[in-house]
Amino acid sequence: MRILLTNDDGIHAPGMAVLERIARALSDDITIVAPNSERSGAGRSLTLTRPLRLRQLGEKRFAVAGTPTDAVMMALARVMKDAPPELILSGVNRGANLGEDVSYSGTVSAAMEGALAGIPSIALSQVYAREGAGPNVSFAAAEAWGEKVLRPLLDAPWAPRSLYNVNFPAREPEQVLGIRVVPQGLRDYGQTEILQRTDPRGFDYYWIKLAGMPSTPAHSTDLEAAADGWVTVTPLHCDMTNHAALAATTALYR
């Protein structure tokens, strides 16, 4: 099985090394095409106003001076054109991609690009609990549970243009409760903060601090399941149509 690896933290990120070890438990035919530096929060953005640079760093290992979506496009159209991947894995992201994170996440967007091309694609992210963890985020849960969560998905039927979003909880591997399939949650964005600071020259700058987690009945979403200690698996699809509203909206124009 040919597997393409990518991410949004950059090709040299610790999570990429973790992902490669997970992938090599599934196949020895691995190609890496990833951004040359961190592109967190890039979403499905494309580089359209400047040239893209592709640099080979080693055997089947390429860095793209662009976004995660650029990287997947470059992999499919150039690097792996004659032997397309049969599976795309994106991650392991440093930090959660839960709830509405999926609409901002470069990790999920890379998997979405694969799904749009008809290739089974999975985004993987490692939650961490402590603010300001810097480079000290532990990927132990992802490392221990990665193969366990991926193998059943490889044998599952895949709907057209669909993908899976996987998050590993901020726990030691032996403390993980198991794997739960859950829907995407939604944070209370009324709690989002814009933190203001002042630089040494006296100019203001800002950091976005995302909202906290609401509670839903039975702790039923990816946000709460991950916080409770589960590996979460959420099926996603690229069709953003609100099918439930189609009939009512059509009636407005009759």
The Cα–Cα gap between 82 and 140 comes to 35
Q: How many Cβ atoms from other residues are within 10 Å of residue 248's Cβ?
A: 9
d(CA 227, CA 123): 18
> Annotation-wise, does 199 bind a ligand?
no
The answer to the question of whether 45 is labelled as a binding residue is: no
Contact indicator for 157, 115 with CB cutoff of 8 Å = no
| Residues 31, 85 contacting (CB under 8 angstroms) | yes
Residue 48 CB burial class (10 angstroms; 0-12, 13-18, ≥19): exposed
Residue 155 in marked binding region: no
Asked whether residue 82 is marked as a ligand-binding residue, the answer is no
CB contact burial 146-179 (16+ within 10 A = b; e otherwise): beebbeeeeeeebeebbbbbbbbbbbeeeebeeb
Distance of CA 21 to the CA centre of its chain: 17
Q: How far is CA 161 from the centre of its chain?
A: 16
Task: Compute φ and ψ for 207, nearest 5 degrees.
Answer: -125, 140
Neighbouring residues of 32: CB distance < 8 A, sequence distance ≥ 6: 4, 5, 6, 11, 16, 20, 60, 61, 62
Bind-site residues for a divalent metal cation: 8-9, 40, 93
Bind-site residues: 8-9, 40, 93
